[in-house]
Chain A
Amino acid sequence: MSYASFETKEQASARALLVPLCLFMGALLGFPTLINLWYSFSDVSFQNMIGSFVGIDNYVAAVTNPKMWQALRFSLQFAVICTTIEVGAALILVFILHPLLVKRPWMTAILMLPMMVSPALMGVMYRLILNEFTGAVPVYLEMMGYAVNFLGRGSIYKTVVAIEVLQWTPFAFLILLTARQTVSYELEEAAAVDGATGFRSTFHILLPMMKPALVIVIFVRFIDSFRVFDHIYVLTGGGPGNLTTSISIYIYKLFFVQNTLGEAVAVSILLLLMSLTLIVVAMRLVVRRS
């Protein structure tokens, strides 16, 4: 009896420890989501910040706007391309560099520098070095006889992909390297004794053991690239035209440039639903695997 009441007292004080976090998240994420929901069904504007109910007009405007689908397509395609290159390159590099880095953490640190930089500032830096007239990269290419306008219409898509890949392959590399290093030496040695060497041990032992890390890397990089905003915004502002408008930039433009608030909010809600679906599906997959 006394034990039971002791236990509930513990539980109660444990719950008290959670209260601040819950209140904070509720106030700063739950409440805005509710505002979003209401706005998406109202004719809110900068002048009329409460708005009145207009039914699903905003959603109709959102889904009938071909630019939304264009932006969505850009984001999906961008995320698939970047994730594939980043994870592929990182995996190959882990197998090449692991023996070199294992006793030299400072070398790993050098490779990690790009991902410490704000993507927005990374975008500005690339803007400097890719500048048609004075940027270091075009100047050298010109000396070798190539004239490439990296920020022009023809190559801007490849450029924003390349910047994302160059900044975040180190992240994928780090996660996979960490996973690779935790694969115990005993296991490797056991494999060597059994006569499994080189590629065989790589494919039959190491890769399966790194699979959870691979799943995480793919998920995190996909999500991150899908919601890309910073470096594209400072580099192109989503242009030329809508060529590099990701879904995040699209919502930003609807809101701050065109001032079509209702539609912007409706797209936000649709994006939220899509993201939640993706997260739930991904979680199911991970749980089923493990």
Chain B
Amino acid sequence: MIVSRHSRIDSVAHFLRWVVFVAVALLVNFPILSTVLTSFKTNADINAYPPKWIFSPTLEHYRAVLASPNVNYSHYIMNSIVIATLGTIFAIVLTLPAAYAMVRQGVGRTWLLPIITNLRALPLIIFAIPFYFMYKQVGLLDTRIGLALISCIINIPIALVMFVGFVQDVPRELDDAAKIDGASMWKTLWHVVLPLSRPVMLAVFLLSFIYSWNEFLFGLILTTKNAVPVTVGATFFVTSRGIEWGPTAAAMTIGILPPLILGLFAYPYIGKSMLAGAVKG
């Protein structure tokens, strides 16, 4: 008797949880859903009243975007891919050895680690103006490498925190065994730590790639034509000659797709990396 009443309350609660989930999922994802659907509609369907949710899809806007004479969107996509990849690799190369040295020898742990982890709390606009002038002087304005350096800076804190957490979990005995065999620190890092780091490396790569891809401020300030990333390039569809709905929606969809897909795999690491920073930083 009591059991059945309990189970009925449970199943009602279960149902209500589902209702909340569906409502929240639709609410927060509505712009994504709506934009993706719009990108596959014909112009007639876009202007239909009331809005159509079922329609026969077309790829005309994607063709228009990628062949647009005014906006070189495929070039911007390539820019974003190169910038995010390079920036991510730079960040990994710089932080993994540093994390190893910090954890195993305690070098810089008390000052450098907190300084770098707190960097992500600074408003980036502070550095926008000096970067503009610096880049102008050395010819890095509007270059992919210039923006890759920025995305590296942006990703160093999170990469360092995640690698520090990883090295802490590597059993010290493995290092000591290598040391007894006469391996130097560099060799231990290369032959012992690096092979073990593949899972965390993947996590750092995913997060760093997503954050780099989504960067907007420096793309806006430091590029004009050659190195324009997708986030900035997509806004060109809006500002030039009013809004063309179909092509804009197609450009948006292309621009959000890579981080959305990577995010499906990366999201658990975001939670972990944030909480790890708190305990260890």
When distances are taken between beta carbons in the complex, the residues of chain A under 8 Å from B124 are: 227, 248
- Binary CB contact string for chain B from 169 to 192 against chain A (1 if under 8 A, 0 otherwise): 000000000000000111001000
Q: Are B50 and A139 in contact (CB under 8 A)?
A: yes
Q: How far is the CB of B135 from chain A (nearest CB, A)?
A: 10
Judge whether B238 is part of the interface by a CB distance below 8 angstroms.
yes
B3 within 8 A of A: no
A36 with B20: CB separation less than 8 A: no
A171: Cβ under 8 A from any B Cβ: yes
- Structural contact, B278 and A286, CB atoms closer than 8 A: yes
CA distance A98 to B185 in the complex (A): 44
Measured between C-beta atoms, what is the minimum distance from A198 to chain B in Å?
A: 11
Chain A nearest CB from B159 CB (Å) reads 10
- Majority-rule SS of A interface residues: helix
**What CA separation (Å) do A265 and B126 show in the bound complex?**
8
Q: Which listed residue, A21, A110, A114, touches B98 by the CB 8 Å rule?
A: A21
Residue of A31, A119, A139, A213 touching B51 (CB-CB under 8 A):
A139
B107 contacts the other chain (CB 8 A): yes
Q: In the bound complex, how far is the Cα of B267 from the Cα of A171, in angstroms? A: 9
Give the size category of A's interface with B.
35 or more
In the complex, whether A190 has a CB less than 8 A from a CB of chain B is no
Task: Indicate whether A183 reaches chain B with its CB closer than 8 angstroms.
Answer: no
Determine, out of A11-19, A55-63, A152-160, A199-207, the stretch whose residues face the partner at the interface: A11-19
Please report the C-alpha to C-alpha distance between residue A146 and residue B50 in the assembled complex, in whole angstroms: 15
B212 to chain A, nearest CB (A): 10
Q: Which of A14, A212, A255 contacts B185 (CB 8 A)?
A: A14
**Does the CB pair A114–B28 fall under 8 Å?**
yes
Chain A residues near B216: list those with CB within 8 A: 118-120, 229-230, 233
Which of A31, A107, A128, A219 has the most chain B CB atoms closer than 10 A to its own CB?
Answer: A128
Which residues of A108-162 are within 8 A (CB) of B? 108-122, 124-129, 131, 134, 136-137, 139-140, 143
Contact (A136, B34) CB under 8 Å given A17-B185, A29-B127, A227-B123: yes
Least CB distance, A99 to chain B, in whole angstroms: 7
Q: For window 157-173 of chain A, which residues contact chain B by CB distance below 8 Å?
A: 166-167, 169-171
Tell me, rounded to whole Å, the shortest Cβ–Cβ distance linking B206 to chain A.
10
A143 touches B20 (CB 8 A): no
Enumerate chain A residues within 8 angstroms of B46, measured Cβ to Cβ.
134
Q: Evaluate whether A117 and B214 lie within 8 angstroms (CB atoms) in the complex, with A93-B20, A134-B46, A139-B51 already known.
A: yes
Contact B97 A17 (CB under 8 A): yes
Given A129-B30, A264-B129, A234-B260 contact (CB < 8 Å):
no
Q: Measured between alpha carbons, how far is A110 from B243 in the docked complex, in Å?
A: 29
Query: What are 26 A-B contacts with C-beta separation under 8 Å?
Result: A14-B185, A18-B97, A18-B102, A21-B94, A29-B153, A35-B134, A97-B17, A108-B267, A112-B267, A112-B270, A117-B214, A117-B260, A119-B214, A120-B232, A128-B34, A139-B49, A178-B271, A216-B278, A227-B125, A229-B125, A230-B231, A255-B128, A255-B132, A275-B122, A278-B121, A283-B114
